[in-house]
Amino acid sequence: MGQQAHNLSPSRAEQILAHLKNPSDTYIVVVSHRGDWRYAPENSLAAIQHCIAMGVDVIELDFRLTKDGHLVAMHDQTVDRTTNGSGKVSELTLAEIKSLRLKNAAGVRHSRQQVPTLEEVMELVKGKVMVNLDKTESKWVREAYQTLKKTGTVDHAIFKGNDDVKTMREKYGKLMDSIIYMPKLWPENADVVEFHNAYEKDLNPFYYETIFDTEDALPLLLAKTRMKKDGDGFLAIALWDELCAGRTDEKALLEGADSSWGWLLEQGANAIMTDRPQELITYLEERQLRTFEQKP
């Protein structure tokens, strides 16, 4: 029985993690923003399940802490925009938030779908897909880690943030060695080269999230940090203009995918965050950039 278990093929989540640890230009990682919120309410279990079904690799989700200490999937500080209720997440209990119902992207109230907890999310994705944890970055890493340990999904979650590695070490100490962490290389970093080098010397991340508002900024960022020469991957965010110099999902739909997603790939992106996951997957499959190798 033990030998049989040893020979089992890796789960899809394990395969995705292998791709992240070994960035390439032959398998492009697809990251879906807030789940597939065009199909179901953002950050909802239904939006997550649809991403899993279509073959998304990583689902970017937002989490905030309730008044009684539970992490729930919520982008805003308040529940007003996405539910039929009102108030700050930090001033509501889990029971109060569970009594609410989610709205869809058009603002229509739903009668059944609730705000999920991080625990519910991780139980759903276990073995199937990875999760990019947003809003937890410099506040609730410990709380999130405890939930990941409880659900056996520490290796399914990617933490990320703007703080430099010294700050993160001061806040979380050795816990930083137990999580997958993706620093953000953004213009707001006072010294992006020093920021990058410090992370390389300490945590040696295998992925970075990038943001750039002009086309010249990305090549300059890559050259200054030597990120690609070090074998690291980078995530491009194709959501709105200032995040990717206008090479957005919208541009892909209006002017053709080569003008946006294709351009990002030409710059060396190994992963793309999108609000159009199915269209992006189809585009990458047509270019034979979605071949999933089965490893023993």
Phi and psi of 198, rounded to 5°? Answer: -65, -40
Residue 95 lies in a domain: no
Domain assignment present for 53: yes
pLDDT at 188: 64
**Count of other CB atoms within 10 angstroms of residue 2:** 6
Residue 3 has pLDDT above 90, yes or no: no
**Is the residue at 107 inside a domain?**
no
Mean pLDDT of 154-170: 95
Q: With cut-offs at 50, 70 and 90, classify the pLDDT of residue 296.
A: very low
> Residue 235: which pLDDT band, with cuts at 50, 70 and 90?
very high
Mean pLDDT across 13-40:
96
Query: What stretches of the chain adopt beta strand conformation (E)?
Result: 29-33, 58-65, 71-73, 130-134, 157-161, 180-185, 207-210, 233-237, 271-274
26 vs 54: CA distance, rounded Å: 19
* pLDDT number for residue 64: 96
Q: Is residue 147 part of a domain?
A: yes
pLDDT at 294 over 60: no
Residue 1 has pLDDT above 50, yes or no: no
pLDDT of 136: 65
| 73 is a domain residue | no
Domain assignment present for residue 202? The answer is yes
Mean pLDDT of 120-134: 97
Please tell me the total count of domains within the chain.
1
- Our CA dihedral for 68, 90, 71, 180, rounded to 10 degrees, sits at -130
Q: How many residues can be counted in the chain? A: 296
Tell me the pLDDT tens digit for each residue of 272-284: 999 999 999 999 9
pLDDT score recorded for residue 7: 53
Query: Would 83 be classed as within a structural domain?
Result: no
Q: What is the mean pLDDT of the chain?
A: 93
Q: Domain limits at 244?
A: 9-62+126-286
- Does 171 have pLDDT greater than 70? yes
pLDDT of residue 220: 87
* Rounded Cα distance, 196 and 186, in Å: 11
For the ranges 163-177, 187-201, 259-273, the lowest mean pLDDT is seen at 187-201
Integer Cα distance of 164 and 131 in angstroms: 22
Give me the CATH number covering residue 255: 3.20.20.190
User: What is the torsion angle, in degrees rounded to the nearest 10, for the CA atoms of residue 226, residue 205, residue 247 and residue 211?
Assistant: -90
Higher-scoring residue by pLDDT: 276, 4? 276
pLDDT of residue 8: 73
User: What is the dihedral angle through the alpha carbons of 202, 206, 211, 217, rounded to the nearest 10 degrees?
Assistant: 90
Query: Count of CB atoms within 10 A of residue 188's CB?
Result: 8
Look up residue 147 and give its two tokens. Answer: 């939930």
Residue 70 has pLDDT above 60, yes or no: yes
- How far apart CA 26 and CA 289 sit, in angstroms, is 5
Six-digit token pair at 187?
């213009």
**pLDDT of 78 above 60:** yes
56-72 mean pLDDT: 97
What pLDDT sits at residue 145?
97
Does the residue 234 lie in any domain?
yes
Instruction: Tell me which residue has tokens 């923003």.
Output: 33
